[in-house]
Structure 1
Amino acid sequence: MSTEDVEGFRLPRSREANERLHALIPGGAHTYAKGDDQYPEDLAPVISHGRGAHVWDVDGNRYVEYGSGLRSVSLGHAHPRVTEAVRRELDRGGNFVRPSLLEAEAAERFLATVPTAEMVKFAKNGSDATTAAVRLARAATGRPRVAICADHPFFSVDDWFIGTTPMSAGVPAATGDLTVTFPYGDLAATEELLTRYEGEVACLVLEPATHTEPPPGYLAGLRALADRHGCVLVFDEMITGFRWSEAGAQGLYGVVPDLSTFGKALGNGFAVSALAGRRGLMERGGLRHSDDRVFLLSTTHGAETHSLAAAMAVQTVYTEEGVTARLHTLGERLAAGVRGAAAGMGVGDHVVVRGRASNLVFATLDERRRPSQEYRTLFLRRLLAGGVLAPSFVVSAALTDADIDRTVDVVAQACAVYRKALDAGDPTPWTGGRPVKPVFRRRA
């Protein structure tokens, strides 16, 4: 009863590779969200390669993949137009002692795609870009505090954010105390916060949208609040960039932040991020002003030509091939299929799909409709055994209708077992071991 159709599903080579990874790399991965603690026990596949919407693990199993590269590979793995753009640069050198013309071309391309920004600076990861925005806001306002949206899970690996999470070890308490929080969608609470710390808050940092749409007038109201209280409005568009529209959520909703940060989909897996914003602010990190200099972004590899070429190709593909619209179409088909499969198995109130169609996540709820890591473990285990690698249901443009139909079939089989566990009042016999764990927790 406890194992049924997953009895024969084993990943011996992946298990061995995970042990090798843990021996050499803290956490066994370079991103905590990729850790094997996020997967059922002994069922964390180690990837050999990928193409399009499929990946293969070192055990030879093929999966339909969702959330590719933590949402970064939105066109699919090894997209030909992106790889060709990179290939053209390979024999031309990748990094020089002075800027290359490609940097200007990449900046022009980005600012044409995101016309709400006036200047841009590239880096390699989102954390650096968002921390640079915070530093710039503090320099421009002369204020120490940062206000972040409490409902959004991640902004940076740096102390100003990590000090507010359960993984705050190594961060001085005084640093964390300078970061305060406000709730998403609640303008009154945000104004109360800004009034309480009048003249102290340098910036408001938030994702403009996540699994819920912004309430009508919310982003415009936040813009007005920032202006009234003299603080900088920062949109973290790491996820919303390109997935909401080519110009990000700011382009879709028509509200212009002072600064915004992009990454993930920008490079289709290549390492590139961007800080963009108003010229008057961005120039504070440059050479053509008379104020105190801001050490904005100065990264050895920020202008590496291969990634900038990839970013330009990604923007071209999005624009010419209507990728954002395709992501929404695929996501709508997947969401409808999963909801139908869950309802058909009597677990529609327990396996719940949420979010914008281009950025779907799922919740696994217990008998009392509370989030459950045990039920998530059961669900993930069944998906993996069915050839679906899905820490989320975030789609890539490489998915086909057949991929989605297959996914829905596997979800239906998983939901049948989910129903049995609910009826038994205990998912443990179907989890195969310890439950998956949240990323942010105090103890390993």
Structure 2
Amino acid sequence: MTTARVGVFDRSNALQDELHRLIPGGAHTYARGSDQYPDAMAPVLSRGRGARVWDVDGNEYVEYGMGLRSVTLGHAFAPVDDAVRAAIADGVNFSRPTQLEFDAARDFLDLVPGADMVKFAKNGSDVTTAAVRLARAVTGRLGVAVADQPFFSVDDWFIGTTDMAAGIPAAATNPIRRFRYNDLHSLEEILVDGDTACVFLEAATGQAEPIPGFLEGVRELCTRHEVLLVFDEMITGFRWSEHGAQGVYGVTPDLSTWGKGMGNGYAVAALAGRREFMELGGLNTDRERVFLLSTTQGPERVGLAAFRAVAAVYRASDPVGAMESAGRALADGVNSAARAAGLADHVQVIGRPSCLVFATRNADGVPSQAFRTLFLQELIARGVLGQSFVTSAAHDSEDIELTIDAATAALGPYGDALAARSVEGLLRGRPVAPAIRRHASPRRLKEDSHVTHQRVPH
């Protein structure tokens, strides 16, 4: 069994303090914030290769989550990086389209046969908001029916429905209505009002598969009510399949949005859809034109070269199979250890094998941020970094074995906390907090004055 081997965070803690001074939140993505990790144990990373990363203190970790699920092939994956180097040698951004744009569009549409046209961008929010704009233009309606799933866009229409709605006018979210995933009746109740432009959902998530007939029923409701169906393939694309969830479940949306895994961490996103709709943003329509997507960086060559290289790897091999194999071994190992320790009701690895998370429950069997933080703390101290157990194709048997050993060792302190019905005396600092929340408290920086940057005992 592994023993604690990560103990020093001095440089990470000092650099994190400076990051907070220069960058709101101390990171450029809320999910990457230090409030998502135990106090004084949020490593600042310096490099990565395969499934391993190293922090500025020299600590080595097996990483999970993999760039918020954007890295499916592994860090510093040579075929992708080599393709990027070759592309940038000839310049990265021009005043006219390039051959690479044509090649990337052809490759993408070969992977997504239900789409006729594609437009590239740099981040997921741009393409999801473009999909909403296009659906409104097509239908002449304002309403958006959104599944009760965590995240779709940083733009007003969606983020205004969350707990971080400061600065967003109510008018932006008035037309947004939520329906329950796997509940056709809750969706139909929205569509009967006749003011819905599109239905927006992830066809599946790591923790929720569509029940038989659900996606087909959504498709039928959208067709009947003349509403556009939009699949968010940010996570499912290249993690469920290179053809997306629509390729797995056999239901074709009118529009789909892509990002994350399509570039193995490089910045590239896409809006794809049926020609009759996408052409409203083009030059082959007599209707009023839609300002669909027009971004300076959308066609730059780095992201498109990365995408083409990723697509080539998926054509030649089976990265999804590798992710799923690693995920199954990890889930089986950790869950077996939890059962052996009598903690199966409190620590559990759940979800699709390529998109795993760990559930952490307190003595009453209730999900607990405090107990989650304790588990994270013990994993980090043993060289495992991640807010989830989301794998990549680079996770090998050694990585999985190390992680199972680390999780098994973490069950000891976890069991002690359950017996005491409290993490007090075991958790060094405050619990983590939801990334999207109304106030900085309970992880407000000012309150960090009482937290001593510590060495974790070996």
TM-score interval, smaller chain:
over 0.9
Aligned-residue offset at 1:235: 0.3
Structure 2 equivalent of residue 219 of structure 1: 215
Q: CA deviation at 1:8?
A: 7.9
Q: 1:395 aligns with which of 384, 391, 395?
A: 391
Question: Could you tell me which of 138, 141, 160 is aligned with 2:139?
Answer: 141
The one-letter amino acid of 2:418's match is L
Give CA-to-partner distance per residue, 1:168-218, whole Å, 9 cap, x none.
Answer: 0010011121111000000011111212xx221111100000112100010
User: Which residue is equivalent to 2:24?
Assistant: 26
Deviations 1:28-49 (A, max 9, x none): 0000000000000000000000
Moved more, 163-172 or 425-434: 425-434
**Within 5 A, what are the aligned runs for 1:138-287?**
138-150=136-148, 152-195=149-192, 198-210=193-205, 211-287=207-283
Q: Are 2:332 and 1:341 aligned?
A: no
More moved, 186-195 vs 136-145: 186-195
Shift of the alpha carbon at 1:9? 2.3
Cα distance in 1, alignment partners of residues 368 and 47 from structure 2: 31
Q: 2: distance between equivalents of 1:249 and 1:228?
A: 22
Deviation of 1:344 after TM superposition, in Å, equals 1.5
Distance 1:369 1:280 in 2: 51
Query: Could you tell me how far apart the structure 2 residues matched to 1:439 and 1:427 are?
Result: 21
| Partner SS, residue 357 of structure 1 | coil
Instruction: Report the CA distance shift for 1:8/1:241 in structure 2 as closer, same or farther (over 3 A).
Output: closer
Q: 1: distance between equivalents of 2:341 and 2:427?
A: 19
- Are the equivalent residues in 2 in contact too, given 1:374–1:428 (CA < 8 A)? no
Letter in 1 for 2:262: L
1:2-151, aligned counterparts within 5 Å?
Answer: 9-150=7-148
Correspondence 1:312-331 to 2 at 5 A: 312-331=308-327
What is the one-letter code of the residue matched to 1:96?
F
Q: What's the offset of the Cα at 1:343? A: 1.3
One-letter amino acid of the structure 1 residue matched with residue 31 of structure 2: A
Distance change (3 Å), C-alpha of 1:10 and 1:241: same
Shift of the alpha carbon at 1:89?
Answer: 1.0
The code of the aligned residue for 1:416 comes to G
What are the superposed Cα offsets for residues 257-292 of structure 1, whole Å, 9 maximum, x if unpaired?
A: 000011100001100001011111111111110111
Q: Note the C-alpha offset of 1:337.
A: 0.9
**3-state SS of 2:80 partner:** helix
Residue 266 of structure 1 contacts residue 314 of structure 1 at CA under 8 Å; is this kept in 2? Answer: yes
Secondary structure in 1 matching 2:354: helix
After TM superposition, which residue ranges in structure 1, 4 or more long, deviate above 6 angstroms?
5-8
If the length of structure 1 is used for normalisation, what is the TM-score?
A: 0.97
SS of the counterpart of 2:242? coil
Measure how far apart 1:428 and its partner are. 2.5
Alignment partner, residue 447 of structure 2: none
Deviation at 1:10, TM superposition (A): 3.2
Alignment gaps of 5+ in structure 1: none
Shift of residue 101, structure 1, vs aligned partner? 1.0
- Distance in 2 between residues matched to 1:436 and 1:118, nearest whole Å: 44
Partner of 1:408: 404
Aligned mates of 2:220, 2:358 — CA distance in 1: 34
Does 2:358 align with 1:362?
Answer: yes
Q: Distance in 1 between matches of 2:348 and 2:225?
A: 39
- Whole-angstrom CA distance in 2 between matches of 1:8 and 1:180: 46
Post-superposition Cα deviations, 1:44-91, rounded to whole Å, max 9, x if no partner, equal 000000011000000100000001110001100110100110111121
**Structure 2: unaligned runs, 5 residues or longer:** 441-458
